[in-house]
Amino acid sequence: MWMDEMIRQMNNSLKRCDVSGVDLLMNNHQSLKVEIDVRQENFTMCINLDESLEKYQAKATDAPTDTNAAIDTSASIDTNAPIHRNVPIDTNAPINTDSH
Q: First vs last Cα of the chain: how many Å apart?
A: 64
Alpha-carbon span 75 to 69, nearest angstrom: 10
pLDDT digits (tens, 9 = 90+) for 36-95: 888 888 888 988 999 999 888 877 776 555 555 555 555 555 555 555 555 566 666 666
Rg of the Cα atoms in the chain: 34
Q: Is the dihedral of CA 60, 63, 67, 69 positive or negative?
A: positive
pTM for the full predicted model:
0.35
The residues, ordered by sequence, that sit 6+ positions from 35 with a Cβ below 8 Å of its Cβ are 6
pLDDT digits (tens, 9 = 90+) for 13-37: 556 667 777 788 888 889 888 888 8
